[in-house]
Amino acid sequence: TQLLEQSPQFLSIQEGENLTVYCNSSSVFSSLQWYRQEPGEGPVLLVTVVTGGEVKKLKRLTFQFGDARKDSSLHITAAQPGDTGLYLCAGAKGSNYKLTFGKGTLLTVNP
């Protein structure tokens, strides 16, 4: 049973389009992180959200943590080819040391 469900699994869009990817769970997390992974590399942390309802912005990326701390979304405005990659969400319960990862959304932004 996957604790964190990410959707969609695959997403292919044109440069300039907006998109939202989702990370859902039936469990409550103390914090949730989003990572981006490029081919042949390890995941790189984008953001950590810890408060229910929290919204964080990182340039064209907007991250939201659900009020109940069970779900999160990532919205990208005006996607660019450089945004291409595997987006992973990871939840922590208690300490941030032990993370549970979703399977990811593979995003392709076509020029």
Residues near other proteins (CB under 8 A): 2, 31, 40-45, 48, 50, 88, 90, 96-104
- DSSP secondary structure, the chain, as one string: --SSEEE-SEEEEETT--EEEEEE-SS--SEEEEEEE-TTS--EEEEEE-STT-EEEETTEEEEE-TTSSEEEEEESS--GGG-EEEEEEEESSSSSSEEE---EEEEEE-
Closer of 40 and 111 to other proteins (Cβ): 40
Furthest-apart CA atoms within the chain: distance in Å = 42
Closer residue to other proteins in complex, CB, 45/68 = 45
Closest distance to other proteins from the beta carbon of 75 (Å): 21
Q: Is the CB of 95 or the CB of 111 nearer to other proteins?
A: 95
Closest distance of CB 16 from other proteins, Å = 30
Give whichever of 105 and 109 is closer to other proteins, judged by the CB atom.
Answer: 105
- Least spacing, CB of residue 100 vs other proteins, in Å: 8
